[in-house]
Amino acid sequence: MAETEKIEVRDITRIERIGAHSHIRGLGLDDVLEARLVSQGMVGQKDARRAAGVVVQMVREGKIAGRCILLAGEPSTGKTAIAVGMAQALGTETPFTSMSGSEIYSLEMSKTEALSQALRKSIGVRIKEETEIIEGEVVEIQIERPATGTGQKVGKVTLKTTEMETNYDLGNKIIECFMKEKIQAGDVITIDKASGKVNKLGRSFTRARDYDATGAQTRFVQCPEGELQKRKEVVHTVTLHEIDVINSRTHGFLALFSGDTGEIKQEVRDQINNKVLEWREEGKAEINPGVLFIDEVHMLDIECFSFLNRALESDMAPVVVMATNRGITRIRGTNYRSPHGIPIDLLDRMIIIRTVSYLEKEVKEILKIRCEEEDCIMHPDALTILTRIATDTSLRYAIQLITTANLVCRRRKATEVNTEDVKKVYSLFLDENRSSKILKEYQDDYMFSEINEQEEQDPAAGGGAKRRVDVGSGDAQPMEH
């Protein structure tokens, strides 16, 4: 007798994108908005997370709109992570738009138009409408196809509820929907009379014993009660920007897919605002202000800040959350210095949330979470060394060593990353401090030696002795020709 062949079954691996903040699931707060030490991917920053939690609560209740929040702190202190946590905590119902300050400098549209579109993307409109639907259990379905294979199909369906039963003739479009959804006797379905859309709710409990085995995804529901024809309220959630695009372009909603929205006239926006306010007065729509997050906000110039001052005072304004890692610096487009590179009048409209540097134990916890996210098993000693590297250099640099150390570990056919793997990648990839040190030592071997040129410009600096210039701090300025 021939041996039974072994059939190898492999799971199809899911395609996953691991980003810098893909491990964050929320802000990690409890019911009274107290920050847990480690929760939902967030570590430390308790005060900043609590403040962000209060903002999220106000956005949910619709009590806050047109306000501006600034997340300010040193680099690698979790400003963007808090914004991602806010987006996760708000859920899919509340619009959340994320952009970088440099995104507005585009050749295709003006800076103010780019900001206007970002603001309008962050305002949701819940439009309510009543539709007539037919809801019932399929008793019998008959579909007759032409013998030639061409021509219209003819069909009949019998639907019932607990109180009544009715026969319906089916048109060609509904028959195609029935065949697409694979509707059969015993299914509980809904048919939208206006659009002809067919939706399968599940199998009726009375037909539960029709088959000996059913799939895990099979859902059993009760037979509907009352009349077959019912009126149902449907809520559609769209953003103001989507309404703008549909009403401003000749090819309508197709512009949403192509991305070619172009500049939208202010007259169109004013008409849409008036219409949405009318719907709100009539009870047909609700305005749902969301959140616009602008990272690296110091990249905006004085014109953009002036525009935001006016835009935030509008009735149709979302909550604007900004993030910056700059101290007292020059406002772009002017020669004036200001805290965070933001004009004083706009800073006056903001509430500022400060982020602080992570402690060593918090850094270790973040690295541990990132190892889990990147499917990397790391020895405790290796994690301790990586934590030391993070405190001496930067958290971002240490996070980037996780995957590279994991690849070195796989190369030697091992499953756990040890201290030698971390030391190997630390020697292969330089951090900013070591790279700056090498540049200072071998400056003459590189092209355009600006340190020597600086000394020639400033001969009073130490009587010809070499002047020490900190490359990392940006003290060495290039010559202007």
**For 156-208, how does the pLDDT look when each residue is reduced to its tens digit (9 = 90+)?**
888 888 888 888 888 888 888 888 888 888 888 888 887 778 888 888 887 77
Residue 363, CA atoms < 13 Å, CB-side half-sphere: 24
Least confident of 6-20, 164-178, 379-393: 6-20
| CB-based burial label for 137 (10 Å; 0-12, 13-18, 19+) | buried
For residue 287, give both structure tokens: 């305005």
Cα 138 to its chain centre, rounded Å, is: 41
User: Quick check: do 128-234 and 360-436 share a fold?
Assistant: no
> Does pTM surpass 0.85?
no
For residue 288, the SS3 value is strand
Residue 41 in this model has a pLDDT that exceeds 80: no
d(C-alpha 276, C-alpha 273), whole Å: 5
Gap between the Cα atoms of 356 and 45, Å rounded: 7
Is 460's pLDDT higher than 60? no
Query: Is pLDDT above 50 for 461?
Result: no
Segment 220-233 shows an average pLDDT of: 83
Residue 388 pLDDT: 92
What Cα–Cα distance (Å) separates residue 475 from each residue in 73, 75, 451?
A: 22, 19, 10
* Residue 290 and residue 238 in contact, taking contact as beta carbons nearer than 8 Å: no
Tell me the pairing of strands 220-221 and 198-204. parallel
**Separation of alpha carbons 168 and 153, rounded Å:** 15
**Confidence band (pLDDT; 50, 70, 90) for 450?**
low
Q: Provide the pLDDT for residue 468.
A: 40
Strands 96-100 and 291-295: parallel
**Please, how many CA atoms are within 13 Å of residue 189, restricted to the half-sphere of its CB?**
25
Candidate from 64-78, 110-124, 381-395 with smallest mean pLDDT: 64-78
| For residues 449-454, average pLDDT | 60
pLDDT at 169: 84
User: Which residues make Cβ contacts (< 8 Å) with residue 73, sequence separation at least 6?
Assistant: 48, 79, 325, 354, 355, 356
pLDDT at 212: 62
What's the confidence (pLDDT) of residue 132?
84
Task: Answer with the residue of higher pLDDT: 271 or 144.
Answer: 271
Q: And the tokens for 200?
A: 């399968």
Segment holding 187, helix H or strand E: strand 187-192
Q: What is the mean pLDDT of residues 124-150?
A: 82
What's the DSSP call for residue 78?
S
Domain extent listing, the chain: 38-94+290-354, 128-234, 360-436
Instruction: Flag whether pLDDT at 221 surpasses 50.
Output: yes
Confidence bin at 467 (pLDDT 50/70/90): very low
Round to whole Å and give the CA distance between 277 and 287.
9
Give yes or no for residue 449 having a pLDDT over 70. Answer: no
Residue 236: pLDDT band (50, 70, 90) is confident
481 band by pLDDT with thresholds 50, 70 and 90: very low
For residues 311-334, average pLDDT:
88
Instruction: Give the pLDDT score at 256.
Output: 55
- CATH fold of 128-234 reads OB fold (Dihydrolipoamide Acetyltransferase, E2P) (2.40.50)
* Span 104-123, average pLDDT: 85
Percent of the chain exceeding pLDDT 70 equals 84
pLDDT confidence of residue 107: 60
How confident is the model at residue 2, as a pLDDT? 44
Please say if the pLDDT value at position 473 is more than 50. Answer: no
Segment 28-44 mean pLDDT: 80
Question: What φ, ψ does residue 204 adopt, rounded to 5°?
Answer: -75, 145
CATH of segment(s) 38-94+290-354: 3.40.50.300
Residue range 396-407, pLDDT digits in tens = 899 889 889 989
Residue 471 has pLDDT above 50, yes or no: no
The topology under which CATH files domain 360-436 is Helicase, Ruva Protein; domain 3 (1.10.8)
Angle at Cα 11 formed by Cα 10 and Cα 12, nearest 5°?
Answer: 115
Stretch 239-262: mean pLDDT, rounded? 69
Please give the pLDDT value at position 302: 92
Does the pLDDT at position 228 exceed 50? yes
